[in-house]
Amino acid sequence: MKYLIYAGIVLAVLGLIGLGICIKMAGGIKRDANAGENTKDRLQTLIALNTASLGTAFIGLGLVTVGVLMS
C-alpha cells in the first residue's frame, strides 16, 4: 500500500502547486483589471485551472487516506 500513499502524495502536491499558480494568476488579473474582454477569458481559464487543481488535490488526499487505512 506504500505505492498508493506515494501516488496520493504526488497528486496532492501537484494540486497544491496548481493552487499556487491560481493565486499568482489571480493577482495578475487583479492588477490588470481594466483589460475588459481579456479579463473574462483569463477568469474562465483561472476557474478551470482552480477546479482541476482542487480535484487533483482531493483525489490525492483520498488515495493517501485509503492507503493509510489499508496498511
Domain count along the chain: 1
- Cα 7 from chain centre: 16
Between 10 and 41, the higher pLDDT residue = 10
Reported pTM: 0.85
Q: How many CB atoms lie within 10 A of CB 56?
A: 20
Structural domain span for residue 56: 2-70
- Is pLDDT at 34 greater than 80 in this prediction? no
- Is pLDDT at 33 greater than 80 in this prediction? no
